[in-house]
Homo-oligomer: A and B are copies of this chain.
Amino acid sequence: MTGNTFGNAFRITTFGESHGPGLGVVIDGCPAGLPLTEADVQAELDKRKPGQSEVTTQRKEADMVEILSGVFEGLTTGTPIAMLVRNADARSAAYENIRNIARPGHADFGYMEKYGMRDYRGGGRSSGRETLSRVAGGAVAKKLLSLYGVEVHAHTVAIGNVRAKPATIEEIKANVWKNPVRCADLSAADAMLREVSAAREASDSVGGIVEIVATGVPAGVGTPAFDKLDACLAYALMGIGGVKAVEIGAGIASAGMRGSEMNDEFCTEDGKVRTKTNRCGGILGGISTGMPIVCRAAIKPTPSISRPQRTVNLETGAETIIEITGRHDPSIVPRAVPVAEAMVALVIVDQMISGGLINPVSAGAVDASRNR
């Protein structure tokens, strides 16, 4: 277990620190013949780019992606696709004062304990910038899934105590990228913005919840007993920095429900089996039902707050006070939206290849014989 590879049949290996030369990803297992350009990937990266609004950090970076391998004459070749984004705006001097200080709520302390050292500049590998590699990998996964009719859409459903109304997939597609909090419910979006502003004014931060919906996933996707679809989604989402809970379908509420409320009854529609309701979030026994996959990730408030906090100098062992300077997102929830999309897309494409529903070497070669 070395930790920086995700997936089995379609796998990404990521690298890079916040203030090193660059970040990137190597995708191994993408079938040949998929049309792919840097613009496809750039479009996804732009969704997480900083400096877009008052909500997110002001660090100005082009974050232009370069494809280093695996694409020839506009098509993937079946060989590894490496992509690189150079770091530009890297004022590492700004971090010299936290060299030995464990910031509360951050990974600093764990890295020091584990490795005995760390690249402290901007969080190093534990920086949110690391998710850039995931989004680049997810961009390819999404492109491949689109050939099979699968779409993945994420949206913010809560920030602090503001919750969005339930949204249709059409509302999500129409509204999410129009507002800085990535919410499908435009009036809730305004309230969320105010919640973020209030937190910033209080030198504080807020958490929230992202929901991800995948449509078009055929029934039969998932690999019991351990690589169930929901288990892999939980692994993928909990691995995003700041996520403290993952729910599938009714999620935590299911604990308080009766079986007669929770069970989704089966029916037929146009000759296909489906469920009348979807409290299970499109997954039963770890295998997709053909209904939309619905899951949520709860994200804690940004740990970087400008209030003084008590902590410890890891070199001297002395207790001390830290005041984090610089500009930090009062909420990382909006920036987690494209990351959550990417991770869910990566899980589904991996499972579909492993399950014989996407040909592992040739994109578009749908296995017609599977249509039972």
Partner of A225 from the list B4, B360, B367 (CB cut-off 8 Å) is B4
* A271 / chain B contacts, CB cutoff of 8 Å: 317
With contacts A68-B22, A115-B361 taken as known, whether A222 is within 8 angstroms of B370 at the C-beta atoms is no
- CB-based contact B220/A228 at 8 Å: no
Complex Cα–Cα for A40 and B288 (A): 34
* A223 / chain B contacts, CB cutoff of 8 Å: 1-3
Complex Cα–Cα for A197 and B1 (A): 45
Complex Cα–Cα for A9 and B29 (A): 13
* A254 / chain B contacts, CB cutoff of 8 Å: 207, 244-245, 298-301
CB distance from A19 to the nearest CB of B (A): 9
The A188-235 residues at the B interface (CB cut-off 8 A) are: 199, 202, 204-209, 218-228, 230-235
Complex Cα–Cα for A67 and B113 (A): 25
Complex Cα–Cα for A29 and B9 (A): 13
A280 at the interface (CB under 8 A from B): yes
- CB-based contact A119/B4 at 8 Å: no
Q: Annotate A100-133 by CB proximity to B: 1 below 8 A, 0 otherwise.
A: 0010111111110111111101001110001000
Complex Cα–Cα for A116 and B33 (A): 8
- CB-based contact A113/B220 at 8 Å: yes
- CB-based contact B226/A239 at 8 Å: yes
CB distance from A48 to the nearest CB of B (A): 16
Complex Cα–Cα for A15 and B2 (A): 18
A319 at the interface (CB under 8 A from B): yes
A84 at the interface (CB under 8 A from B): yes
With contacts A4-B79, A84-B68, A309-B263 taken as known, whether A370 is within 8 angstroms of B360 at the C-beta atoms is no
Identical copies of this chain, number: 4
- CB-based contact B79/A119 at 8 Å: yes
- CB-based contact B238/A310 at 8 Å: no
The A246-296 residues at the B interface (CB cut-off 8 A) are: 246-252, 254-268, 271, 273, 275-276, 280-281, 283-290
CB distance from A15 to the nearest CB of B (A): 4
* A326 / chain B contacts, CB cutoff of 8 Å: none
A91 at the interface (CB under 8 A from B): no
Complex Cα–Cα for A367 and B368 (A): 7
A138 at the interface (CB under 8 A from B): no
CB distance from A300 to the nearest CB of B (A): 4
Segment from A57-65, A147-155, A177-185, A351-359 that makes contact with B: A351-359
Please give me the 3 A-B residue pairs with the lowest Cβ-Cβ distance, nearest first.
A107-B285, A110-B287, A235-B235
13 more A-B residue pairs beyond the given contacts A1-B9, A367-B367, with a C-beta to C-beta distance below 8 A:
A1-B227, A5-B5, A17-B70, A17-B79, A20-B70, A77-B117, A106-B284, A227-B239, A234-B238, A244-B254, A255-B299, A257-B301, A355-B361
